[in-house]
Amino acid sequence: MNHEIYDGDLRAATAGLEEAFAGKRFLITGATGLIGSFLTDALMALDAGIVIYAAGRSAEGMRRRFGERMDDPRFHYVPYDAAKPARFDFDVDYIVHAACSAHPLAYATDPVGIMQANVFGTMELLEYLRTQPGARMIFLSTGETYGENPDLPEGFGEGDHGYVDPMKPRSCYPESKRAAETLCACYAAQYGVHAQVARLCHVYGPTMTAVNSRADAQFLRNALEGRDIVMKSTGAQVRSWCYAADAVNAILTLLIKGASGEATNVANRHSVASIREYAQTLADVGGVKLTFDLPPAVEQAGYTKITRAVLNPAKLEGMGWSAKYDLKTGLEHTFRCLKA
């Protein structure tokens, strides 16, 4: 990885937040994932006495992702499976619940596992939160909870809701995220804990994992290998996109300023594009061509049917947050970080 670019992005993700988090203890689930690993790297790079409890299924996978950082006394690997009871014997100030297999192949092949991780895993963490006086938890949800409702030119606000068919196995992801959001609101109301929700748009960046079957992750792998980007649809669906550094900065901002029992959109209003536009921008950055092919049925089963997934970030912007990376810049950084 090009560490000069990546290190600059880590600094951007924590800019202005150093003092707020100095000496704090974080539990990060899904610490080897796209967002969890970027967040972990960003907090460790602050060198402000922050302690990280990085939760994940595999010590080997954690070592593969974080390398020598595993030997840092501020970094602690915590064995964790979101589908199993959580038994933690340490105290924290912040919990970031980022553990979820958020990609189409998982939705198609393991919808039950998706629901277990989102619903049961979130409840377990909320129970742990109850034992941590003064701690704050943020659950990383998704814009997919809004469902289908294309008639919102400014994008979904936090109070807008569209249609999700609960009898479709593909709905395992948005429906379980919805249920987990409600759990956060219920625990906040009933037990007085600080639990909030970040509804993320499509986040991308150099920490996208090798097993990620999302279309944008496949596009990136093709471009990095010098192969044409292959689209498996017309790419007409419109999305809000957000570079990982901006998303992590938003999450940290919410941990300080977000209200308990509420949800907040995380999106970049200047990075709204169709999937085809996203793919073409990446093709231009990588110096490859854009081509088209139809996917196998099992892969299509995991695709979302939502045609317009644009989130309105006005609430987050009202807290002083603003995105620093437009789509082209974010994709250039992603490509250059990984191509080095």
Per the DSSP assignment, residues forming a β-bridge with 309 are 239
Unique residue bearing structure tokens 């704050």: 136
pTM for this entry: 0.94
Average pLDDT, stretch 247-257?
Answer: 98
Domains annotated on the chain, with CATH: 3-206+241-270+311-325 (3.40.50.720)
Question: So what's the pLDDT on residue 92?
Answer: 98
Give the Cα separation of 158 and 185 in Å (integer). 14
Question: So what's the pLDDT on residue 230?
Answer: 87
Tokens at 220, concatenated: 């990136």
DSSP class of residue 71 equals G
Mean pLDDT of the chain: 93
Residue 140 phi/psi, 5-degree rounding, is -85, 105
Q: Are 251 and 245 in contact (CB under 8 A)?
A: no
Per the DSSP assignment, residues forming a β-bridge with 138 are 96, 196
pLDDT tens column, 171-207: 999 999 999 999 999 999 999 999 999 999 999 999 9
Give the Cα separation of 234 and 265 in Å (integer). 27
Q: Which residue has the higher pLDDT, 248 or 104?
A: 248
Question: So what's the pLDDT on residue 300?
Answer: 60
pLDDT at residue 151 greater than cutoff 90: no
Please list, in sequence order, all residues whose beta carbon lies within 8 angstroms of the beta carbon of residue 78, skipping any fewer than 6 positions away.
27, 53, 54, 55, 56, 88
Tokens at 241, concatenated: 């996109």
pLDDT tens column, 38-73: 999 999 999 899 999 999 999 999 999 999 999 999
Q: Are 135 and 129 in contact (CB under 8 A)?
A: yes
Per the DSSP assignment, residues forming a β-bridge with 77 are 54
Q: Which residue has the higher pLDDT, 306 or 104?
A: 104
Give the Cα separation of 59 and 30 in Å (integer). 12
Inter-helix orientation angle 34-45/59-66, to 10°: 60
Tokens at 266, concatenated: 């995380």
Question: So what's the pLDDT on residue 5?
Answer: 97
CA-closest candidate to residue 34, choices 234, 198, 217, 302: 217
